[in-house]
Amino acid sequence: MRKLTNDELDRKSVTEFRASEKSPFIIVLDSVRSLNNVGSIFRTADAFLVEALWLCGITATPPHREIHKTALGATESVEWKYFPDTPEAVRQLKERGYCIVSVEQAEGSVPLDRFVTEPGKRYALVFGHEIKGVSEEVVNLSDACIEIPQYGTKHSFNVAVSAGIVLWELAGRTR
């Protein structure tokens, strides 16, 4: 066994990425404060061919050195938009027919492994602030809440880790 070289990885160019069929997901960041988390989520969005990343509230936007450091160029491939108000962004997504799914520990939330995606349906996955989570107003606008089952003492993941876990699970079902 040997590691593959970069040339053997068959990476898409930015042009090829933009022309590729996307997964049926838009990621919404609801006031994510860490620029490193934002950059990491850009990179994860690129890996799973996410349709777009909507940055809301206090979430920083490119270009920024700290985002660039962890995004490794994904800010160039992944389409993104900024909205000062997360609820307004969510309302726009609802009007476009997206199912709004907040990733949050909430009353009535569904464990990630039991959440059912429907063929042909598009989803907006909302991830929240590192301490406060998804705002109550956005949770109330959501069609569903999912949570990642956890078995230790902390019952929380870093937001970028959560995005990776959720996209790995859901994108795998829709490919």
pLDDT tens digits for 2-12? 999 988 998 99
**Is 90 exceeded by the pLDDT of residue 173?**
no
How far lies 122's CA from each of 27, 67, 125, 148, in Å?
11, 27, 10, 20
Q: What is the pLDDT of residue 155?
A: 87
**What does the block give as tokens for 161?**
């880790």
Q: What is the pLDDT of residue 7?
A: 86
**Which distant-in-sequence residues (6+ apart) come within 8 Å of 101 by Cβ?**
115, 123, 124, 125, 126, 142, 143, 144, 145, 146
pTM of structure: 0.96
Per-residue pLDDT tens digits for 107-149:
999 999 999 999 999 999 999 999 999 999 999 999 999 999 9
pLDDT above 70 covers a percentage of the chain that reads 100
Helix (H) or strand (E) holding 12: none
**Is 80 exceeded by the pLDDT of residue 175?**
no
Could you give the domains of the chain? Answer: 20-174 (3.40.1280.10)
